[in-house]
Structure 1
């Protein structure tokens, strides 16, 4: 069987997928139409679940060393911020790190794993065969073709791969225009500054290199008309209208607008084509979740694709990629739309609604926890088949000890029995590690997938016999 995957797009999603495939023994070629890495960073936030994913491959340390941990995040720029310190994770915070640096670190990880990354190479289409796919590419030296077992579209919201595959991308067009400006501020406000009122919403975020990012929306930005590129003069006028000060802004490094168009691919898989990241879901960048969800898409897909190509995947495993991640995309788009509604609630009734929700977050811990878990993706569970399935199946494992033992090419059995009785089950695709009984409630054993979710669990004392019986079945 062809043991080669072509990935369109060398952003964080494509790079993580490439690394996962190589760590699992599958060749990957990443094709990126840009000749240089984009040094502009639309995303600035790494969320707790993504940090757990990084920890599962033992590469979290450079991110933690360079990023700035923040105790929470916002939901719709409400006055009451979400408190992430309450989250059940080894990383109960958001990490402020520019996407350009995140991408650079992930590219080094993918290259170290053995992935081939070709810049200036643009996928233009493909031809699917019974057992392979031929990918058409425009490269620096002209057109050529690559043969692969699968083609992964990680090439953004305007995905050529998705379009060529004929996969629908239903959703809603943009009706709100957000904007951002990376500028020097001679008189910056206090860290964590934000404004919300009848004149609009504004957040000011310090960035490396003496630059601040201003992001916001004003009532005039609720429009379907494109007003042209953002200028420094317009950014200054919007900021003064809201705060009475331009903070001494000058020397813009990047000025940009973006809309709230929200779309979700009808299928994450069609034959030998798979989609991940913005190619599968487009939404307003509220809370910095987009890059994180895309990396988590790749974490789900990588091991399944490798297991399929190596022949050790259970029947239908690759189809579970859509079954598990498409609902996450639905939740993502719904949450994004809800935040846009809050961020544009400039009317007196809207301000009252915002005040009520802020009060609920600050006074009811369960409201804070529900929203924080949703934004951080710590609540993502893949429901098991069967009403009598163990309640742990499908849940994520954030235990640092077990994360450190995870591999892209094998399951991990956590033996929670007093006598470490499951060691005889160990094999090339199944590693066994004894963990203290009680670490997962009454469970005596849990089987952890390479992406850190529970595949099987039991409370029975003779866990080995139970596993052998169900595995044989």
Structure 2
């Protein structure tokens, strides 16, 4: 094998997955067709849950000052995300280029090799591994790996060459996105409907605005090149009456509302992550975030499989956990698209949604869905409310002083957190010490409704989900075997 794992695509999901595999002790190589980053930033931030995932690996300080806001929307209808404890509409104003810089630096620190200018043109999965063929600056090359992971976006070459089934609906409309300098634009919130469509504008930095233009009745085109800025400016003027033709477009792109998801996230030794597995309308800034969550879910499981300690079926839980999460993403983005892209015929539905969202239960449900904070996985029997849920960010006092549940996950390993009253746990778990950390902590005073209140111990997966808790969380030995394999 040239590498245990070959990843195609050096975007956020590919870089995250590669770094996670290196934390798990796995050699990995990333192939990227672009010889240098494009400089385009479709995404402008990430959701509350993805912010937590970056915190779990100690990456948040590298983004600098992060601005979050509780004010958001669902389908263009205002929604206060603070209705859910710890929730917000996400980290705002962070260009995808910056996110890729942070993730790229992290990947480099842990020893990831990225080969740029490598374009995948063929692959063969023979049951013992995968052989890939790529066009490179030095000619056609082949590589062989135990696994191949496609992190190569919505037009994934890996998905096409491996023959994944990709059902769904085609795009019905074409929309434009551009970063424009030299225009004095007033801010227009997402979902601002005008006669004939929807427009958005928001300042990115001094003198530069991000605009989105959706003109109803514009069927999608089969483009081989990005649209011209004149096309974008013409559409903007038709919808708003304002001219931006004298502006300077830093970059221009088009997108649609196609909605598709592969039926299986794994096919033999080939797996798909992020937009390679699901494509959807970019509503609520969820695309990059869900892709990173896919990578975090897969990374430690794939590393465990390659290293040989994965319990039977662990790698299959990548599909069983993330496919429903992807389906839910597609469902809510389609719903949002109907609300803010449709015409007057949907006004009654908007009015009903506006009324419903005044109910706290509805607000909590939608905020949890889009933020990613309500996601839970089936992890076994037990009655503890945290089972299958994310471990909440919580300050703790550890052996070396102040710490937190996020700090304890920096190494990308599982962790057994003893919070007092848990005598004997260390002896029960010490045979898994090559895979999990065992830490004694004390927690600060908690309110009665805090999920950690009364909890004496937690077993947390490397991706931050609780798989055992005391009391009422089932048997620790069973959870260790199920998620971390047989004892050493």
Same fold (TM over 0.5): yes
Q: Distance in 1 between matches of 2:478 and 2:284?
A: 45
Find the aligned partners of 1:194 and 1:91 in 2 and give their Cα distance.
19
- 4+ residue runs of structure 1 moved beyond 6 angstroms? none
RMSD: 2.7
**Which stretch shifts more, 83-92 or 165-174?**
83-92
In the TM superposition, residue 35 of structure 1 has moved relative to its aligned partner by 0.6
Query: Aligned equivalents of 1:314 and 1:2: distance in 2?
Result: 25
Query: Is residue 2:374 matched to residue 1:371?
Result: no
Deviation at 1:224, TM superposition (A): 4.9
Q: Does 1:440 align with 2:446?
A: no
2:393 pairs with 1:399:
yes
- For residues 241 and 193 of structure 2, the distance between their equivalents in structure 1, rounded to whole angstroms, comes to 13
Q: What is the aligned counterpart of 1:312 among 305, 309, 313?
A: 309
Alignment CA distance shift 1:141-1:236 (3 Å): closer
Q: SS state of the match for residue 36, structure 1? A: coil
- Three-state SS of the structure 2 residue aligned to 1:45 is strand
8 Å CA contact 2:468–2:479 kept in 1: the answer is no
Q: How far has the Cα of 1:89 moved from its partner? A: 3.0
The answer to whether 1:455 aligns with 2:454 is no
SS in 1 for 2:455: coil
Structure 1 residues 471 and 396 mapped into 2: Cα distance closer, same or farther (>3 Å)?
closer
How many Å separate the matches in 1 of 2:417 and 2:260?
A: 39
Report the Cα offset of residue 413 of structure 1. 1.1
Match of 2:350 among 354, 357, 366: 354
Answer whether contact 1:72 1:93 (CA < 8 A) is retained: no
What displacement does 1:359 show?
3.8
Summarize deviations over 1:126-167 as a string: whole Å, max 9, x none. Answer: 222343222222211111221211111101122121122111
Where 2:128 maps in the other structure, the secondary structure is coil
Closer/same/farther in 2, CA of residues 248 and 415 from structure 1, 3 Å limit = same
Instruction: Tell me, yes or no, if the aligned pair for 2:70 and 2:88 is still in contact at 8 Å.
Output: no
CA distance in 2, matches of 1:469, 1:257: 50
2:119 is aligned, of 118, 122, 134, to 122
Quote the residue 2:76 is aligned against.
77
Unmatched 5+ stretches in structure 1: none
Once residues 234 and 3 of structure 2 are traced to their aligned partners in structure 1, the CA distance between those partners, rounded to angstroms, is 56
Quick one: distance in 2 between partners of 1:46 and 1:334? 19
Structure 1 position 206, deviation (Å): 1.1
Q: Is the 8 A contact 1:86 1:92 kept in 2?
A: no
Rounded Cα–Cα distance in structure 1 between residues aligned with 2:365 and 2:294: 22
Structure 1 equivalent of residue 398 of structure 2: none
Q: Distance in 2 between matches of 1:167 and 1:193?
A: 34
Which of 262, 267, 274 is 1:265 aligned to?
Answer: 262
Structure 1 residue 300: deviation in Å? Answer: 0.2
Which residue of the partner structure matches residue 296 of structure 2? 299
The C-alpha deviation readout for 1:215-260, integer Å capped at 9, x for no partner, is 1312233x35569964444433433444443468611112222111
Aligned partners of 1:177 and 1:470: how far apart in 2?
A: 48
Match of 1:208 in 2: 205
Equivalent residue number for residue 336 of structure 1:
333
Q: Residue by residue, what CA displacement relative to the aligned partner does 1:32-73 show, whole Å, maximum 9, x if unpaired?
A: 0011101011111211111111011101112242x4433333
Aligned length: 463
SS of 1:97's equivalent? strand
| In structure 2, C-alpha distance between the alignment counterparts of 1:3 and 1:225, rounded to whole Å | 39
SS at 1:131 equivalent: coil
Match of 2:400 in 1: none
Q: The residue matched to 2:459 in structure 1 has which SS?
A: strand
Deviations 1:325-346, CA, capped at 9 Å, x for gaps: 0001111111111111112222
Distance, in Å, in 1 between the alignment partners of 2:327 and 2:28 is 29
- Residue 211 (structure 2) pairs with residue 180 (structure 1): no
Inter-CA distance 11–472: structure 2 relative to 1 (3 Å threshold): closer
Is the CA contact (8 Å cut-off) linking 2:45 and 2:90 kept in structure 1? Answer: no
CA distance in structure 2 between the aligned counterparts of 1:367 and 1:287, rounded to whole angstroms: 17
Match for residue 437 of structure 2 among 431, 449, 455: 431
Structure 2 stretches lacking a partner, 5+ long? 395-403, 483-488
